[in-house]
Structure 1
Amino acid sequence: MTSLTEKTTTRSLSVSKIPQEAFDWYDEYAHGDIDRRTFLSRLGTLSVTGLSLSVVANALTPNYAQAEQVSFNDPDITASYLEFDSPNGHGRARGYLVIPNNVNADNKSPAVLVAHENRGLNPYIKDVARRLAKAGFIAFAPDALFPLGGYPGNDDEGRAMQKTLDGNKIEGDFMDAATLMKNHEFTTGKVGMVGFCYGGYLTNALAAAMPDTINAGAPYYGTPAKSNIDKIKAPLQLHFAELDQRVNATWPEYEKTLKANKVDYKAYIYAKANHGFHNDSTARYQEKNAELAWQRTLAFFKENLNA
């Protein structure tokens, strides 16, 4: 059992003490390329002075108690769950809806769809939705795991659950969520989208599949859409981590296609950052880069959704 001292050490652990191999192995583990036993076995081969295996492992895996920046009790916003019909997806879906308290049918706001990673609607993603609402946007974060009962409370189980679902139906759920936000009585009809990891892929995919619905897309370390890239109309602001070899390998060809189709895009690569650097619940988090990326994202949405 991890002691209180170890847990405290885990959260204050300097990223510089964790070898890059550990981050790379965690990325493989988080994306299903290796199982947990293999991940821990590899960590056990490292020599990290003064740090136990459990401390390093716990530093790399999420602790969502660390990730709340905007409380669900914040007086400026109202958060709730909203179920909706999803004929293009699983038939019925649910998401986390956060509305600024000054927004209503007479004072409308643009909407931003928030797409989670490959493990369902975890607390970090809900906090991102609250951050957007705090900045003045209506935010809606669907949970791909709703057909299976929703995010189960831990990422390992959530990852395994999401892997069993039909990816096309997940995309359909998010597409129907985008349409819902476009037509919501409190929105201006403008819809942006931000996503992380798998959600970054979804952001690219919906920009390509719904060019008349998605008005701005900000994928974080996401792979390209599989089709219809030539249909993209929305401006894109893409965020990449310098050390994220897996995702970055897909960027040169994607960029070439965006250029060929005259898509308005801006790509940022954050120095010495790992995949997941925006997620403030693990040691991969880099506050300076995360805050810079987020301020760029908010400015991007304000510019393109408020026009």
Structure 2
Amino acid sequence: MTQLGTFEKYLIEEFFDDYKAGELSHRTFTRRVAFITGSMAAAAAAMTLVGCTPGELPRSTDPMPTPTPTPSAASASGTSATGAIPGAKSPLSVPEGAPGLTTATVRFPSGGTEITGYLARPDDGGAGSAVLICHENRGLTPHIQDVARRFANAGYAALALDLLSREGGTASMDPDAVPGALTQAGARRHVSDFAAAFDYLNGQDFVDSGRVAMNGYCFGGGITWQASTEITGLKATAAFYGPAPDLAKVSSIKPAVFGVYAELDARITGAMPALRDALDATDVQHQMKVYPGVDHAFHNDTGERYREDQATAAWNDMLAWFGQHV
């Protein structure tokens, strides 16, 4: 089996944790790993590495799963007839159509093609700060669109990219195939798309040029860390429980970085001290904060691990960080 990259390993370990916790069926876990690795033999090898027993492994002769396209992209907005977000539990949630906000799907060039994103901003017409948002391994979901509206409600122009624009967009894809498509595209492509989005925002009359931050969750937290080392124009970033960047690149970070970690998330939080030490050895402005009593993905209020108190605290801490540095 080809050696797993940082994000492939990260996602397979995450899905294994979800499977063992009963949050994913064995079929869904196997499908996702197969889409990430590209073959059933490679999937079996990867599943062995994360701790699956022989009885849990697929046979190398098993057929690869066939992606099942989403029947309709009409659900891309992710809202009900009342504008509510399905499953949203956060008091910070902002429904589509909320007064005072403007939302739209926007398109801009990146790498010779067109990328789409969901833009939410205050409709007062003034120029202000902006934030780029990187979604989780599920792609651009209604929850991430909600996060963009939360930023807009706080006064930011918020742009959440669909990193699967080239593949036809998240809403058109088999959800189990989304993580594999994201890892196959590679972090370099994703960071390049965010660099293009940074330029797009800076060209808008509703953005005070140069005052742009970035925020991401899980997989998106990892891409946010990568972008912190490469997109030097960013003023600040906030990565929620994402895999750390190459520590050798930490000294190249220019934005002020804020890392959000969960106390019970041993897999990610356990690696945080090494990143913190690397940052301490530089002049990069940074803060690493561990939130007590919560696990990975505690901010996502459509998931089982959501905790309102700590999610709200992390959100407010991020806004304070952006307010100070953006």
- What TM-score, normalized by structure 1, do the two folds share? 0.76
Q: What is the one-letter code of the residue matched to 1:81?
A: T
Query: Which of 176, 182, 194 is residue 174 of structure 1 equivalent to?
Result: 194
Q: What residue identity is the alignment partner of 1:108?
A: A
Kindly provide the CA deviation profile for residues 262-285 of structure 1, in whole angstroms up to 9, marking residues without a partner as x.
Answer: 211111111121110000011110
What corresponds to 2:268 in structure 1? 247
Structure 2: stretches of 5+ with no match in the other structure: 1-17, 36-42, 54-84
* 2:131 corresponding residue in structure 1: 112
The aligned residue for residue 81 of structure 1 is 105
Match of 2:63 in 1: none
The one of 144, 156, 161 equivalent to 2:163 is 144
- CA offsets 1:27-86 (integer angstroms, 9 cap, x no match): x959956999x9xx99xxxxxxxxxxxxxxxxxxxxx61127111100110110111010
| Offset from partner CA, 1:108-149 (integer Å, 9 cap, x none) | 110000110122101111100000001100000000111111
1:287–1:20 distance in 2 versus 1, CA, 3 Å? farther
Kept in 2, the 8 Å contact 1:95–1:140? The answer is yes
* Distance change >3 Å, CA 147–CA 182, structure 1 → 2: same
Distance 1:293 1:31 in 2: 33
CA–CA separation in structure 2 for the residues paired with 1:30 and 1:262: 44
- Secondary structure, aligned partner of 1:276: coil
Conserved 8 A contact 2:190-2:223? no
Residue number in structure 2 paired with 1:46: none
Distance in 2 (CA, whole Å) between partners of 1:30 and 1:270 is: 31
Residues in 1 aligned to 2:30 and 2:107: alpha-carbon distance in whole angstroms: 28
Structure 1 distance, partners of 2:122, 2:279, is: 34
Alignment TM-score, normalising by the size of structure 2: 0.72
Other-structure match for 1:97: 119
Q: Return the alpha-carbon distance in structure 2 between the equivalents of residues 80 and 25 of structure 1.
A: 33
- Shift of the 277–167 alpha-carbon distance from structure 1 to 2, 3 Å rule, reads same
Match of 2:249 in 1: 228
Instruction: Judge conservation of contact 2:137–2:219 (CA < 8 Å) in 1.
Output: yes
Return the alpha-carbon distance in structure 1 between the equivalents of residues 219 and 178 of structure 2. Answer: 13
* Structure 1 moving runs of 4+ over 6 Å: 23-26
Structure 1: segments with no counterpart, 5+ residues = 1-18, 43-63
Q: What percentage of residue pairs aligned between the two structures are identical? A: 30
- What are the within-5 Å matches in structure 2 for residues 146-225 of structure 1? 146-152=165-171, 155-189=175-209, 190-211=211-232, 213-225=233-245
Other structure's SS at 2:287 match: strand
Distance 1:284 1:117, change over 3 A: same
Question: CA 1:187 to 1:163, structure 2 compared with 1: closer, same or farther past 3 Å?
Answer: same
Return the letter of the residue paired with 1:270.
Y
Q: Structure 1 275/155 Cα, relative in aligned 2: closer, same or farther at 3 Å?
A: farther
Shift of the alpha carbon at 1:250?
Answer: 2.3
Root-mean-square deviation (CA), in Å?
A: 3.1
DSSP 3-state at the match of 2:303? coil
> Which AA in structure 2 matches 1:80?
A
Aligned to 2:39: none
The letter for the 2-side match of 1:196 is Y
Deviations 1:281-305 (A, max 9, x none): 1111011100010111112212221
What is the alpha-carbon distance in structure 1 between the residues aligned to residue 296 and residue 110 of structure 2?
Answer: 31
| Greater shift in the superposed pair: 199-208 or 149-158 | 149-158
Cα distance, 1:263–1:33 mapped onto 2, change above 3 Å: farther
Q: Following the alignment from structure 1 to structure 2, what is the Cα–Cα distance between the partners of residues 164 and 150?
A: 15
